[in-house]
Homo-oligomer: A and B are copies of this chain.
């Protein structure tokens, strides 16, 4: 089992038996392959006698997206497991525990989170998660601060930048988020009903300049170790627990890109409420919950980040008066821009979101798509002037008024 090959379920069970201190020797183990088969195999291995279970996640050497298949480095399994281990050291409650990583098989053995649900699905079922804002604010503050020049030795940080150079997965982001949605690319999947609005995006010079500037930051600004793909499909949740998973896009980039990924997906869901609520009052109420979550997440992030900076900063010059305020303002501005970028690509780009695409009422779906585009483009255009998270909420609320 040492040379790389996609594992069978029998091999997955066989491997699971070799892990120390997990299962009872000789007892029956059951495997279920629960991945979507596009990028990874995911085996759920359980021991019916005790109820114990684990996940074996194995990277596949290709990506399948919309029928196409292209080769994709297995090194992403190393990046994912190393990122998870760093995140666990900083926020032990907020990521799955990694039991083992087997480089030659591109295999990560991790905690089973089957008692959680994917947050995107939870929101689509109109569930609310009152602890989520605090959890994600904490996750962002700790993972971004402690992997940046503010919170770790600046020479060790450079070695870490090196370990997380991730060209193939960054290229997916560079193309699918920052490039294709702004031109008539075959990689787009344009909903016919909103073609007029998408064509307006393709011809909006002001928008294109801001996106080019945001992409330059994504390409060059090695500020902190990002999760890199922090949407609500990368979050397992239940009322009392939040777990951030799947950091295979991890690399050193601008902090606002991770924060913006969360906010974009909250606001995409905000747009999608056009179709999920029975009446206007229920819709306004759920949207109020979403914007309150966004506000609370930013506030928690900012408060904890500033507190870490004041209490645990390793950098003499970071105490320079005015520097912290300048820094937070830049992160806020980046957050506006990346929130917008991550919304726009989800409306007519290659990878869209179930929140909107699962809406059955065509009119509601079209309204949701137009709202998402309106919020996304407005945030992108406003990003370099932003000064408060309230402005983001105002932009969202204006789009549905």
- Which residues of the partner chain B approach A321 to less than 8 Å between Cβ atoms? 205, 208-209
B327 close to A216 (CB less than 8 A): yes
Interface residues of A, dominant DSSP: helix
Among A13-21, A217-225, A240-248, A335-343, the stretch that binds chain B is A217-225
Q: Are A155 and B179 in contact (CB under 8 A)?
A: no
Q: Are A159 and B149 in contact (CB-based, < 8 A)?
A: no
Within 8 A of B (CB), among A308-351: 316-318, 320-323, 326-327
* A195 contacts B by Cβ under 8 Å: no
- A182 nearest CB neighbor, chain B only: B317
Q: Mark A175-215, 1 if CB is under 8 A from B, else 0.
A: 00011001100000000000000000000010011011101
A174 within 8 A of B: yes
Taking a contact as CB atoms under 8 Å apart, the answer to whether B158 and A165 are in contact is: yes
Interface residues of A in 106-148 (CB under 8 A from B): none
B221 touches A154 (CB 8 A): no
* B154 and A320 contacting across the interface, CB-CB below 8 Å: no
Inter-chain contact A155/B171, CB cutoff 8 Å: yes
A165: contacting residue among B159, B215, B323, CB under 8 A? B159
- Establish whether residues A149 and B219, one from each chain, have CB atoms under 8 Å apart when the complex forms: yes
- Known contacts A205-B321, A209-B322, A317-B179: A216-B149 contact under CB 8 Å: yes
Q: Does A226 contact B (CB under 8 A)?
A: no
B contact residues around A161 at 8 Å (CB): 161, 165
Interface residues on chain A, number (Cβ under 8 Å): 41
Residues of B within 8 A of A317 (CB): 178-179, 182, 208, 211-212, 215
Contact A221 B219, beta carbon cutoff 8 Å: no
Enumerate chain B residues within 8 angstroms of A303, measured Cβ to Cβ. Answer: none
Pairs A-B, 8 closest by C-beta atoms:
A155-B167, A212-B320, A158-B167, A212-B323, A209-B322, A162-B165, A208-B320, A149-B219
Please list 28 pairs of residues, one from A and one from B, whose beta carbons are closer than 8 Å in the complex, sorted by A's number: A149-B216, A149-B220, A154-B171, A154-B174, A155-B168, A158-B165, A158-B170, A159-B167, A162-B162, A178-B317, A179-B316, A183-B316, A205-B320, A205-B322, A208-B320, A208-B321, A209-B321, A209-B326, A211-B317, A212-B318, A212-B320, A212-B323, A213-B323, A213-B326, A215-B317, A220-B223, A221-B221, A221-B222
Which residues does A use to contact B, with CB under 8 Å?
Answer: 149, 154-156, 158-159, 161-162, 165-168, 170-171, 174, 178-179, 182-183, 205, 208-209, 211-213, 215-216, 219-223, 316-318, 320-323, 326-327
